[in-house]
Amino acid sequence: MSKKLYDCRFEGRKLGAIGIFYNIRETVWAEDEEDAREQLNEKFELLHSLTIEDMDADPPTVSCMACDGMGVLARGAFGEEPECKACHGAGEVVEEDY
């Protein structure tokens, strides 16, 4: 099974931390939503109000430093960062518009 990019949002804290809970947004490469949840549990604890979205379904637009233009976030191969579809370069994505 190929991995997908998942956008995860929840309230929680880093594993082993004490005190305040934060609203956290984490992007993970996972085979499915259950795998994404397991990856989150390796880094965070006490996850509340967890939502997991498949980013392939509706990729966000991005502002790319390489081409100074707006593109659509393309899923990279496993282990690679997503890139701007406008310039097809490995330019640094600096901002996501929601």
pLDDT value of position 73: 55
Beta-carbon-side half-sphere exposure of residue 10 (alpha carbons within 13 Å): 23
Domain boundaries, the chain: 4-54, 61-97
For residue 62, the model assigns a pLDDT of: 53
In sequence order, what DSSP letters do the residues of 9-67 get, joined into one string?
A: EEEEEETT--S--EEEEEEEEESSHHHHHHHHHHHEEEEEEEEEEETTTSPPEEEETTT
CB 82 within 8 A of CB 94: no
Please list the pLDDT of the chain residue by residue as tens digits (98 residues).
678 889 899 999 999 999 899 999 998 888 999 999 999 999 999 889 999 988 876 555 556 666 655 555 555 444 455 566 556 555 454 444 44
| pLDDT score for 86 | 59
The pLDDT, as a whole number, for residue 61 is 54
